[in-house]
Each structure stands twice: as structure tokens, then as C-alpha cells.
Amino acid sequence: MSRAVDAARRWLPGLGLLVAIALVAQLAAAPVRGLSPLLLAVAIGAVGVNLVGVPGWARPGADAHALLLEVGIVLLGARLALDELAAVGPRLLVLAVATVAAGLAVVEVLSRLSPSIDPTAGSLLAAGAGVCGVSAAAAVARSIDADESELAYAAGTVVLFDAITLVAFPAIGALLALPERTLGVWAGLAMFSTGPATAVGFAAGPTAGEFATLAKLARNSLIGVVAAAYAVAYGRSGAGSAGVGRTVIGALPRFLVGFVLVMAIANLGWLSPAALARVDLVADWAFLLAFAGLGLSLRLAPLRETGLAPVAVVGASLASVGTLALLAAMAWF
């Protein structure tokens, strides 16, 4: 019992802060046509953390944003029809494999050409930019025994581009008048971290949000293979093929299991329209709270230490792979 009370004391203040930010974003965005409460929640969090920081009492709850995002994605499974997924899934998977391979190759080559980027740090940058942000960089760091400072270096660069793309992608989408499906697929294929990609998608509309999440999940599902390939390339694959298998399975995001289960339950017709509406409502709030917390995680001060070289390398990758992904999304979706 005391353990439950302790956990509540630890988590509730920060969760309360996320709820407050979410409510302010909802209220402020409601009267303004075209202003998304999701992106406003990210912006309020980002401005707050960079101006005044996050108080110590709120940190544990505010850090729950990653869990809330994964809960939102698990629940999103209820919205997706299997026949629609079967129709677009193969195309998304092909594009995901192509963009991940291109992103890894561009960052690896450019970072090897830059004398100020260590090869290990270059590989972490490649994983972060190519697959799924900080979590991919962390998975590859484990598989090649990179040290903490190299991971922090890659994570700082990824967070900087998360902040930039959160503003740039909706602006470019509006400029080019991209349809929701195209914008969603592009964000899912080209943006680095899952949170910002889904935020940009859902800010444009539910269809864009679903396609952004699907495209991003297709990329995320490749993290196990990428981490295992790096372990082999760096000669750290452990006990041969068994070690490679363990790395592939171990690095897979576990919430994909929940996403598939919820999609199966919904597609079997076990949920009434009223039940589906309730699941939708909880998913919407999980995303809104997650994006408020995502904003609070976008601290820009530590990024001054990362230097210009990784920013130039990752920026070149984003520009080249992002352009190709945009053209592919426009042609196929």
C-alpha cells in the first residue's frame, strides 16, 4: 500500500503538469482556425523547459511521456482496419527499408569523411537519424559497446533535429498543400523520433496521424536488424548466430506486441462502436499528454556542446533522404 502511495507521490505532480499544459493547449487552440492543440502542447512544453526548466517534483511524471506515447500507439491499433493495412503495408515496408538504408549509408559515409566525428559516434548518429531517434541510438550503443558520452552526443543532435522538423514539416506540408496521407507517410519515413513524427501527423488530421504512425512503426521494427548488423560489423555479435538472434529480438520495441493485439481485437469485431469511441478518446488524451511531455524534453542548452560537424552531417542526411522520401510519398500515397 505504502509503495502505491509513494508511486502516486512520485508520478502525479508531473502528470498533473502535463494535464495542465494539455488543457491550456486545448483552450488556446480552440478559437484559432488551423492551430493544432498537439503542436501547441509541444511548443508550450518546449518554451517552458528552456525558459524556466522542469521543477524536480515534476520530473518523474513528466518523463512518463514516452510511456504515454507508446500507450497511445497501442490504442491506435483499434482504429486501423486490417484490409487497409494489407493494402498499404507492403509499400510502406519497402519505403521504410529504403529510407532506413539510405539514412544509415549517408550518415555513415559523411561522418567517416569528417575528422571530428569518431566512427562509433558516427554509427550512433546514423542509427538515430536512420531508424528511430534516441531509442535506436541507444539500442546500437548497447550492441557495439559505445560509451555514454558518445550516446549523449548522438542524442543531443537527434533532439535538435526533432525540434527543427516539428516546425519545418507542417510548414512544408502546408506550403505544398500535401494531402493527409502523403504528409503522414513523409513524416513517418523522414522524421527521426516517433513522438515528433506522430505529433506532426495528428496535428494535420487523423488520417495523417495514422499513416505517420504506420510508416514510423515500419521503420522502428527494423531496429533489431540494424542493431544486430552493427554488432556484426563491429565484431561484437557475441555467441555467433544465437547472439545475433538475441540482438534482433531484444531490440524490437515491445509495444508493437500491444499494437498488434489491439488491432486484432478491434478487427475481430469484439468492440462495439461505443467501446471503440472510448478507446479513441483515451488514445487522443494519451497522445496529447505525451506531446506536452515531449515538449518538456526538448532542452536546447546541452546541444551547444555537440558542435557543428554532427549537425551538418545529420542535416545533409535529412535534406537528401527527406527529399527522396517526400517524392516517394507523393508518388505512392
Partner 1 sequence: MADSEGPVAERAGASARLADRLARVDRGWWATVIGLLVVGLAWAIP
Query: Using CB under 8 A, which of the segments 22-30, 101-109, 137-145, 260-268 binds partner 1?
Result: 260-268
How many angstroms separate the Cα of 122 from the Cα of each of 133, 252, 276? Answer: 14, 22, 44
Q: Which is nearer to partner 1, 276 or 319 (CB)?
A: 276
- The owner of cell 478487427 is 267
Least Å from the CB of residue 308 to partner 1:
33
Question: 189: which 3 cell numbers?
Answer: 519515413
> Maximum distance among all alpha carbons in the chain?
60
For 153, list phi and psi in degrees, rounded to 5: -60, -50
Name the residue nearer to partner 1 (CB basis): 3 or 33: 3
Of 23-31, 148-156, 189-197, 273-281, the window that binds partner 1 (rule: CB under 8 A) is: 273-281
Crossing angle for the helix pair 65-76 and 194-204, to the nearest 10 degrees: 50
Beta carbon of residue 66, minimum distance to partner 1 (angstroms, whole number): 6
Contact flag: residue 270 with partner 1 (CB under 8 A): yes
Binding flag, residue 271, partner 1 (CB under 8 A): yes
What residues from 2 to 21 belong to the interface with partner 1 (CB under 8 A)? 3
Query: For partner 1, how many residues bind (rule: CB under 8 A)?
Result: 28
DSSP string, 192-233: SSHHHHHHHHHHH-HHHHHHHHHHHHHHHTTHHHHHHHHHHH
Backbone φ, ψ for residue 283 (5° rounding): -60, -45
Contact 45, 298 (CB under 8 A): yes
Does the footprint of partner 1 cover residue 278 (CB under 8 A)?
yes
Residue of the chain from 33, 254, 268, 269 that contacts partner 1 (CB under 8 A)? 254
Instruction: Give least dist CB 270 to partner 1, A.
Output: 7
Q: Phi, psi (5° rounding) for residue 56? A: -55, -40
Please state the φ and ψ torsions of residue 193, each to the nearest 5 degrees. Answer: -100, 155
Stretch that binds partner 1, among 82-90, 138-146, 161-169, 251-259 (CB under 8 A): 251-259
Nearest residue to 89 (alpha-carbon basis) of 268, 265, 333? 333
- Decide whether 44 or 155 has the Cβ nearer to partner 1: 155
d(CA 186, CA 169): 9
String of contacts with partner 1 for each residue 76-95, x by CB under 8 A: -xx-----------------
Which of 161, 192, 255, 287 binds partner 1 (CB under 8 A)? It is 255
Residues contacting 124, CB < 8 A, separation 6+ = 137, 140, 141, 146, 150, 151, 153, 154
CA distance 306 to 236: 27
Taking residue 270's Cβ as centre, other Cβ atoms within 10 Å add up to 9
**Cβ closer to partner 1: 178 or 286?**
286
Return the range that interacts with partner 1 (CB under 8 A); candidates 34-42, 187-195, 198-206, 274-282: 274-282
Considering only residues 183 to 212 of the shown chain, the ones binding partner 1 according to CB under 8 A are none
Q: Report if residue 308 touches partner 1, rule: CB under 8 A.
A: no
Which of 14-22, 97-105, 269-277, 302-310 is the region at the interface with partner 1 (rule: CB under 8 A)? 269-277
C-alpha cell of 98? 529504403
Q: Which is nearer to partner 1, 75 or 190 (CB)?
A: 75
> If binding is defined by CB under 8 A, does position 46 make contact with partner 1?
no
CA 288 to chain centre: 14
The one segment of 28-36, 172-180, 265-273, 291-299 that binds partner 1 by CB under 8 A: 265-273
Task: Round the CA-based radius of gyration of the chain to a whole number and report it.
Answer: 19
Binding site for partner 1 (CB under 8 A): 3, 66-67, 70-71, 73-75, 77-78, 253-259, 261-262, 265, 270-272, 275-276, 278-279, 282
